[in-house]
Structure 1
Amino acid sequence: MTGLPAPLAEIVDDFTALSESDRATLLLEFADDLPPLPEHLAPEAMEPVPECQSPIFLSVDASDRGAVRLYFSAPREAPTTRGFAAILHQGLDGQPAEVITAVPADFGHELGLASVVSPLRLRGLAGMLARIKAAIARAG
């Protein structure tokens, strides 16, 4: 898929190289890799993502147009949502705003998870990406 920054394209390649059951396992491994919030951020001060079935919050720091910083808060009891947040964090954190805004809205389908997770879960991933792009647009 074109329009993906190298770190996100590598994640997509990792998923598509696996069988369906292994993709689900990889998603759960990503959930364990979501970094903790910095001390200056509290989930209550972050933007909720109502498109997600689980309570997730994000913060986008696009004040330095050279590198957008992404922060996510997702409960451990929601490993699918945490996994999607970790994919976005690992694939997009530190990228320039114009690179992030060029990511296709439906890139999540390229992960090959449609038969492993519900369409509502994939919509949550798209919702997170849309909110990141909207925050970048507001900052710009």
Structure 2
Amino acid sequence: MSSQIPESLTELVDDFNELAVPDRLQLLLELSDELPPLPERYEGHLDELERVDECQTPLFLAVEVEPAGDPHGTVRLFFHAPPESPTTRGFAGILHTGLDGQTVDIVLAVPDDVPFSFGLAEAVSPLRLRGMVAMLGRIKRQVRDQVVG
């Protein structure tokens, strides 16, 4: 994998690609189950999160850079997707596991096409993968907006 992809994301890419297609779906479901709940400050306030319309089911995300505005800060990711949307939640789980806690520079350097690296094109529709690409794009844009102003 490219050196532009953080190790945590590279490990997930490797994990997915070592599996047969049906097992990739199972791993995606496991990541769906592991997606952390929203912190209390966002509970009941989905209007404070950004909706990713490209996802087939409602997905909302928020990005925070700590310390605020620091171009070398740490990126924190928060997602909300209904439990009955395991594929969308799984994509969010991949991005959370791979990018939460990384630095601004690392997150911004992730190639936009990394969602196609997980070997999921054989398992889910291109429309669903488009949702994950959109999530990554929104994350990177929110990071840029917070550190550039």
Fold shared by both chains (TM-score > 0.5): yes
Alignment of 1:80-91 (within 5 A): 80-91=87-98
**Superimposed CA distance per residue, residues 101-121 of structure 1 (whole angstroms, 9 cap, x where no aligned partner):** 111111111100101000011
1:14 is displaced (CA, Å) by: 0.4
Q: 2 CA distance for matches of 1:18 and 1:84?
A: 17
Consecutive unaligned residues in structure 1, runs of 5 or more: none
Separation in 2, partners of 1:128, 1:115 = 20
Tell me which of 61, 76, 79 is aligned to 2:86: 79
CA contact under 8 A between 1:54 and 1:81: conserved in structure 2?
A: yes
Partner of 1:48: 51
What is the aligned residue count? 140
Q: Secondary structure at the match of 2:74?
A: coil
Distance in 2 (alpha carbons) for counterparts of 1:49 and 1:120: 13
CA distance in 2, matches of 1:43, 1:80: 20
**1:74-121: per-residue Cα shift (whole Å, max 9, x none)?**
001110000000110010001001100111111111100101000011
CA contact (8 A) 1:12 1:111 kept: yes
Amino acid at match of 1:127: A
CA offset at residue 51 of structure 1?
A: 1.1
**1:106 aligned to 2:113?**
yes
Question: Counterpart of 1:57?
Answer: 60
Structure 1 counterpart of 2:35, one-letter code: L
User: 1:118 aligned to 2:119?
Assistant: no
Contact 1:105–1:126 (Cα < 8 Å) also in 2: yes
Do the aligned residues in 2 keep the contact of 1:63 with 1:139 (CA within 8 Å)?
Answer: no
Q: Residues 60 and 70 of structure 1 are in contact (CA less than 8 Å); yes or no, is this contact kept in structure 2? A: yes
Distance, in Å, in 1 between the alignment partners of 2:105 and 2:12 is 20
Q: What's the CA shift for 1:43?
A: 2.0
* Cα RMSD after superposing both structures: 0.9
Q: CA deviation at 1:62?
A: 1.6
Measured in 1, the distance between the counterparts of 2:101 and 2:14 equals 20
For the residue of structure 2 that corresponds to 1:68, the secondary structure is strand
TM-score normalised by the chain length of structure 2: 0.91
Q: Which residue of 1 aligns with 2:16?
A: 15
Q: CA deviation at 1:63?
A: 4.3
Q: Distance in 2 between matches of 1:63 and 1:8?
A: 20
Q: Which amino acid aligns with 1:94?
A: G
**Runs of 4 or more consecutive aligned structure 1 residues displaced over 3 Å after TM superposition:** none
Counterpart of 1:135 in structure 2: which amino acid? Answer: Q
Give the unaligned 5+ runs of structure 2: none
